[in-house]
Amino acid sequence: MVNSIDSMERLRDELNSFPQNESIKKWKDQGEKIIGWVCNYVPEEIIYAAGFLPIRIIGHEGVISRGDDYLQSNMCPYLRGCLSQGLEKKYDFLDGIIVAHTCDAVCRLYDNWRIYVGAPYSYLLDHPHKISDSSQLYHYRQLEKLKKSLEDLSGQEITEASLVEAIDICNENRMLLKQIHRLMAGDNPPLSGVEVSDIIRSSMIMPKDQNNLLLKELLAELVPRKSSSNPGPRLMISGSIMDNAAFIRLVEECGAEVVTDDLCSGTRYFWDSVENNQNPLAAIGLRYLNMVPCACMEPPFPRFEYVFNMIEEYRVDGVILYGLMFCDTFQYDFVGQRKRLEEKNIPVLEVELEHPSLGLGQLKTRIQAFLEML
């Protein structure tokens, strides 16, 4: 797709060298603290307002090694991969971790990380699993506790002004990612699905202000460009977290275009912004409680509606339901999601993987057959 774009290469350099990327090294060299987070329901704005750099903890490509010594092999492979990286001291530069309670597996990651990996600071955010007036109040109280905990760690107050500044930076990042992503809605989009995935994930592992500058440069370079390739079927991928683009690459090598997604490592990460509110902490709470929901949230219907809106806006020809093995929340969710897709005569393929970069060869024939059907 894009041949040689300096800003794209710089974003990819940050992503490919993570967690030893240049921006993280510079941040640490300045004596600043870095907080690793797990799950989209961890509010980055509060971490930023405390003066810390929030980065997403991710696994790695290849065989999970040490993580299997501490977490059962029938538990989420993504989280086992994250723990493996921690045990291999790839995240020793972290000054703390924050994990949102979204499923049992992520809580077990938190326990094992705190005990066996170790961190100067650790915090488990109890995120509600239902959306209601009472859960909104409960969530706000939990964010107040997180704010107080980070104030104790930093030794300074998190002011309303610092929260507003953090909100503005994060909202700008979301706006820029959305502008780039919407280029995929047109004919002959200027990026591949792999490139879009890389761009989104780069925003999770570097300072937002630096990432924003690179995204602005990239947008200026992309707007006049068009793909020279012959477009194939336009697909959407929906489901479990995808911490690398290997599966998307396989789908596109089979001849499709991945034009959009419903992934927490994709559009669900940036689609909803924090709205203006006299109380910035309350505004943050409303955003994280009411954003496009993960499968851990009840009811699931807002996410189904989101999926159908994306299918229409991006003129999707078919949907791949992508599930990690032992990711029970999405496996349960796929039953209702698949039924609704089929009722609307939208072709759907359901796949299950141990890891997004493993066992891809045996899927190739299924994907090719699905594309031929389209």
Q: How many domains does the chain have?
A: 1
Residues of the chain with pLDDT under 70: 1-5, 60-65, 224-230, 355-359
pLDDT in tens, 261-312: 999 999 999 999 999 888 999 999 999 999 999 999 988 889 999 999 999 9
Would you say residue 53 lies in a domain?
yes
Give the whole-angstrom CA distance, residue 238 versus residue 258. Answer: 11
Q: What is the pLDDT of residue 357?
A: 57
Would you say residue 138 lies in a domain?
yes
Longest C-alpha distance within the chain, in Å? 60
Would you say residue 129 lies in a domain?
yes
CATH number of the domain within which 60 lies: 3.40.50.11890
Q: What is the pLDDT of residue 3?
A: 43
Would you say residue 351 lies in a domain?
no
C-alpha pair distances (Å), 159 with each of 28, 48, 89, 273: 24, 12, 34, 20
Q: What is the pLDDT of residue 189?
A: 92
> pTM (2 decimals)?
0.94
Q: What is the pLDDT of residue 152?
A: 98
Q: How many other β-carbons are positioned within 10 Å of the β-carbon of residue 53?
A: 22
Would you say residue 103 lies in a domain?
yes
Instruction: List the alpha helices (DSSP H) in 60-132.
Output: 77-87, 104-112
Q: What is the pLDDT of residue 230?
A: 63
CA-based nearest residue to 70, from 103, 100, 115, 120: 115
Specify the pairing of strand 53-56 against strand 96-100. unpaired
Q: What is the pLDDT of residue 290?
A: 94
Give the whole-angstrom CA distance, residue 364 versus residue 58. Answer: 25
H or E element, residue 370: helix 361-373
**Residue 102's domain spans which residues?**
31-154
Would you say residue 236 lies in a domain?
no
Would you say residue 84 lies in a domain?
yes
Would you say residue 104 lies in a domain?
yes
**246 within 8 A of 356, measured Cβ to Cβ:** yes
Phi/psi at 218 (5° precision)? -65, -40
Q: Long-range contacts made by residues 146-154, C-beta under 8 angstroms, separation at least 24? A: 146/43, 146/46, 146/98, 147/46, 147/281, 149/123, 150/46, 150/47, 150/50, 150/52, 151/50, 153/33, 153/50, 153/52, 153/96, 153/121, 154/33, 154/50, 154/51, 154/52
CA-based nearest residue to 78, from 372, 364, 290, 353: 353
Bridge partners of 56, per DSSP, are: 37
The size of the chain, in residues, is 374
Q: What is the pLDDT of residue 197?
A: 97
